Structure 1
Amino acid sequence: MFLQELQLQQFRCFADKKLYFSAPITLITGNNGIGKTSIVEAIYYLSYFKSFRSHLVSDLMQTGTESFFLKGQFRLQNLNEEHSIQIGYSQKRKSIKFDQKQLSSHRQVLELFQVVTLTEDDIDLIKGYPAGRRAFIDQAVLLANPQALQVYREFKQILACRNAFLERYQHNIDRTEFAIWTQKLLEISCKIQQMRQDLMSQVQAQVNELIEQFFDGIYRISLAYEPKLPILGQNSEVCLRAIEGLFYQERGLKRSLFGAHLDDLVFQINGQKARIFASRGQQKLICLLCKLSLILIPRGNSMKPMLLVDDFISDFDKIRLQNLIKFFISRQNQIIITAPFFDSGLQNLLEKADPDVQSITS
C-alpha cells in the first residue's frame, strides 16, 4: 500500500493541512511542537481508529473546536487499486467511511491500510507495564491476520460477562452458570495465547535475522511469552481445577484472575532480561528491531505495511543510521520519518543513499 494524500482539518494544531506523498521514503522536518508527530498520529488514526498518544478524543481537536476530520487516499500497488478512508468526529459521534461508504467492519481497513509506528514512547515496550507489551503482541497478530479481530471481540465480551457475573452475584452465585463462563474464557484465552505465541516466534526470528544482516550479529534477542496462569497446552481438567482455586479471590476482587488479558512478554538480550540488564541504547535497539519485524512478517494478501518513524532515530550514531537506512532502502514498504530541523546528519545520509527521498517541511 502507498499513502498518496493526507488531509487534516481541526486536528491537533492543524486548521486545514494537506500533504502529498510521492516517494517510497519521505522525511518530514520541522521545529519541535509544530505538528510532526500529529501527522504520524493522523495516519495511525486512519488505520486503528484511535490515537497512540491519548485516549481522550478532546485532545485531538484543535483548540477552540469540537470536531475534526481526517482523510487518506492510498493505492494498492500489487492490485493497482485506489481507496480512501475518512474519519469525522462531531457532536460526540465518530463517522468512518471507506471509499465514500459507511464502514461495515474495521477488518475491511486492517486488511488494506496497515500502519506500524515507531516513537520515543515505544521504549516502554521494554520498561513499561504488561498492557503495552500485550498491545504490541496483539498488533502483530492483527497485522498478520486481520480476521483475528473477531476472536479479540469475543474475548472482550466473554471477559466482560464473567466479570459482571462476579460483581452482580456476590453472595448467591450460580456456580453452574459461572462454570460455563469460566469454560468460555479458558477456551478463548487459549486461542489468543496460541496466536500470540506463534507470532512472537516469527518476530523473534525476524529480529535476530535483522541483527545478523545489519548489525553484525552482536546480540541475540529472545522473546518469552509469560501467561499469568500457564493454561496453554495443559489438560483442561487440570486448568479448571487451578481456576477453581481462584474463585474466592475472584469473588472478592470482582474480576477474573486468569486469561489472556493478564499475560506478559519478557525480552532478553544475550540471555539476560533486557528491562534490567540492557542499556538504554540496547533497549531502544530492541524496540526498533521488534517494530521493523512487524513489516517483515509474511501476510496472505502480500500487504506491505507503512512504517512511521517519529523522531526515534535522531540520536543513533552514524554507523547505526547507515545500517538502518540501508534496510529502509532495501524494502518496498512506504516509510515516513520525522526529524527536527537541526538533524541535518540524518537528512544528508538519506539523500546520499537515495536521491529520490522526498523532503517535506512541516
Structure 2
Amino acid sequence: MAHDHILLDATVRSVAAAAPDADRENRFPWEGIRAVHAAGLLESTVATRFGGQGASLYDAAQILASIGRGDPSVALISAMTLFNHLGQAARNHWPEALYARLLDEAKQRPLLLNAARVEPELGSPARGGLPATRARRTPSGWSISGRKRFVTGARGLTHFLVWAHTDETPTRVGTFVVPAGTPGIHIIENWNSLGMRASGSHDVEFTDVVVPLDDVLDLTGTDAAPQDNRGHASITLALTAIYVGVAEAAQAAFNAFAHERVPTNLGYPIAKTERLITLSGEIDLLVGSARQIIFDALHHGLGDAERLIRARLVAGRQLRDAVQLAVRGIGNPGLNVDVGLERHYRDIQAVLVHAPQEDTAISILGRSAFDHWARETATEREPSSILKTA
C-alpha cells in the first residue's frame, strides 16, 4: 500500500507536539489519537472486501514506526486496532453484523479495540494457563466478571476484547466483545510506569457485564486456548517497529543537541568533534540496522517463526542500546527533560517487555535449536539405503 508521506509526516508532527504533555500528566493521548484517526490510519488495515485500504502487516509496521517517532504510546494504542483489523482480514472470525457496526462507528470517531487478557493471578497468557475471568451464560447472552491487567489504552477504548472462560460443561474459552460504557466496567487507574506513560495500561474490573450471545470471537475448547507465541511472532515483530520510531526520535534529539551545543572553550559545535562523530556513527549503525532487520524479516520471513523472533530480539536490543548510547554520549543534558532524550530513554525500556517477554522468546529459540540438532543428528545416524540392502 502506498502511503501519503506528506499526510503521514504532518500527522507525526501533530502527534509529537502533544506527546510531552500526555507523558508528563500520565493521561490518555487524545490529541495524538484524534490526529491518527483524522489521517485515516486507524482503519488502514481493514480488508478491501470491507471497503478498507487493505494494508498489510508490513505496511502497518511502517505506519507504527512513523507514529512511534511522535509518540510511541499513541502508536501502541493504534497498533491494537490495526492488528485486530488484520486478524479479521485473514480469518474472518468476527460476527458479520458486529464488524459492520464497528466500521460504521469508525467513520464517526476513533474506533479503538484492544484485548484484555492478562490477569493478576494468571499473569501473561504467553506463559500458559486459562483465564479466571468468567462468562456466565444467561437467557439473553453472557454475563462477564473478572479483573484484567495492563489493558493498554483503557480510558479511550471503544471496545474491550475480554478473554474469559464459560460456565458451561464442558468449559469453553473465547474473547467477548464488550463496548466501553457498558454498566459494570470499572477502570482502576494504576498505570504509573517509567515509560510509555500515556499508554494508560490500567487494570479493568468487569462485574456482571452483559454481552449479547453472538458478540464473541473464537469460542472454543480449552485445549485450543493457550497463546501461540510462535504463531504470533510476526505481530510482535511489527510491534517492535514502534521502537524503531522511538530510537529514531532519540537519534534526532542527539543530532540536534550536538549541532546546537557550542562550548566557549571549543568555539564550534560538538558535532564536529571526533568523539561525537564516532558516537553518531555507532548510533546510526544500531538504529539503521535494527530497522533493516525488522522490515527484511517482515517482508521475506513471515513463514519462519524463528527468524521473526530472532529479528525482534536482536533489533530490540540494538534499539535499546542506541538510545542508551545517545544519552550517555552527551552526559547530564541527556537526562534533562528539555533536550527530549530522557523521554525516549524511558520509553525504549519497554521494547522487549511486550509478550512474549525476552526470556520466553529466548526459550523458544533454545528449544528450536535443540530440536533441530536432534533431527539432524538422527538423520546422520540413519544407515544409507545402500547399507540396508547390502
TM range (shorter): under 0.3
Question: Which structure has more strand as a fraction of its residues?
Answer: 1
Structure showing greater radius of gyration is: 2
Give me the TM-score of the superposition, normalised by structure 1. Answer: 0.26
Higher relative contact order (CA 8 A, sep 6+): 1
Give me the TM-score of the superposition, normalised by structure 2. Answer: 0.24
